[in-house]
Structure 1
Amino acid sequence: MRNAVSRFDDCRNVVLHETADPEVIVVEYELVGTHTATGVTASAPFIGVLRTRDGKLAHWREYQHTFAIAQAVGQA
């Protein structure tokens, strides 16, 4: 479904995990959004792996729970 989520309403359940590398953190979070066509609000979990360098964000890799997202937008 094209443009299935019109907006993200909230970012909740944020958990930060330190790693053995002081430049790397892992963050878990849940994004909440509203489905454009139906008005239904749904959420899905994500994990981000972030690397900093010289006090700036140098890299962000994100992992999504694609099945939960497909369910949220009615495609599962």
Structure 2
Amino acid sequence: VVWCFDEAKGCKNWPEIEGRSLRSFPNGAFNRAKEIGDKDGMINNAQELAKMFEVLGLRVKHPDKKKKID
């Protein structure tokens, strides 16, 4: 599984897993224990979201820059 977060930087709505926003998934206590997000464990940017997925054991890959087609 490859998660690409750079493409979502401008998105106002975060994806959801089983109806829960990724901003609060898995939960604040987990995020605080792993030093993810702010002091309340809230994820506010793509880098923090990527860190959470890495802690959960999921690979995070930044997409390659688009190559110019002649």
TM-score per shorter chain, which class?
A: under 0.3
**TM-score normalised per structure 1:** 0.25
Relative to total residues, which structure has the larger strand share, 1 or 2?
1
Structure with greater proportional helix content: 2
